[in-house]
């Protein structure tokens, strides 16, 4: 029973984050950037998300016509349809307002409202531009594709803890992610890692 309550809490918290993300999206207020620099990852899924939302709206209109003689069923289905549209737009808003964030010591890797992984820069041993379209599940790896695509791969010296949507803890040592501007993310990460651990002066 405790596990069920824990799952319900996580689901409710996720729904609330989506609602808050809608407000932040309208107000153009990104979440958690602070003194760091944000790197978007939502551009590649905009068409799919809005296409899905449009299909939901069309389906809502169709169901309204079919159920016009059944007012109770019509009201129930209408509420569910409106909720679905809000949910889909909220998913996209969460991706827009929760970018990856790079600051002087940490890279914050995110995906919507359900992934928020903080990776210390000192633990990143390799960052490279690597485009992949297939991602098989493997122990110690975290893949965060958008439209089935990732462009940046991070290898870690020490494992970091990642919690799945259902709350299960995993340790990962390799992260693949999508970014709207992967080249700039790789360059910025490389500069930040160099500034954190500069190479020794050969003349010293």
Provide the residue-wise pLDDT of the chain in tens; the chain has 204 residues: 777 777 788 888 999 999 999 999 999 999 999 999 999 999 989 889 999 999 999 998 999 889 988 989 989 999 999 999 999 999 999 999 999 999 999 999 999 999 999 999 999 999 999 999 988 889 999 999 998 999 999 999 999 999 888 788 999 999 999 999 999 999 999 999 988 866 454 444
pLDDT, residue 192, reads 94
Is residue 140 within 8 Å of 133, Cβ to Cβ? no
Kindly give, in sequence order, each residue whose CB lies less than 8 Å from that of residue 63, ignoring residues fewer than 6 positions away. Answer: 74, 77, 78, 81
DSSP string, 79-148: HHHHHHHHHHHHHHHHHHHS-EEE-SSEEEEEETTTEEEEEEGGGEEEEEEEEES-----TTEEEE-BTT
DSSP lists the bridge partners of residue 117 as 109
pLDDT for residue 203 = 46
Q: What was the pLDDT predicted at 140?
A: 94
Supply the Cα-derived Rg of the chain in whole angstroms: 20
Q: Is the dihedral of CA 60, 61, 63, 67 positive or negative?
A: positive
Q: If you search the block for the tokens 């160099």, which residue do you land on? A: 194
């Amino acid at each position: 029973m405790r596990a069920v309550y824990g799952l319900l809490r996580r689901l409710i918290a996720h729904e609330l984050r989506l609602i808050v993300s809608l407000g932040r999206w309208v107000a153009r207020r990104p979440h958690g950037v602070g003194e760091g620099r944000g790197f978007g990852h939502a551009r590649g899924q905009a068409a799919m998300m809005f296409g899905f939302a449009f299909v939901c709206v069309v389906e809502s209109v169709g169901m309204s016509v079919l159920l016009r003689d059944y007012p109770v069923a019509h009201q129930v289905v209408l509420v569910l349809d409106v909720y679905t549209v809000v949910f889909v737009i909220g998913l996209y808003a969460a991706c827009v307002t929760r970018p990856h964030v790079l600051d002087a010591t940490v890279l914050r890797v995110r995906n919507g409202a359900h992934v928020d992984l903080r990776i210390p820069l000192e633990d990143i041993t390799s960052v490279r531009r690597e485009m992949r379209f297939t991602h098989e599940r493997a122990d110690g790896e975290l893949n965060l594709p958008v439209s089935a695509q990732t462009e940046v791969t991070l290898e870690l010296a020490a494992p970091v803890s990642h919690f799945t949507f259902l709350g299960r803890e995993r340790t990962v040592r390799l992260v693949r992610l999508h970014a709207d501007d992967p080249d700039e993310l790789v360059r910025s990460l490389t500069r930040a890692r160099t500034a954190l651990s500069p190479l020794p002066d050969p003349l010293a």
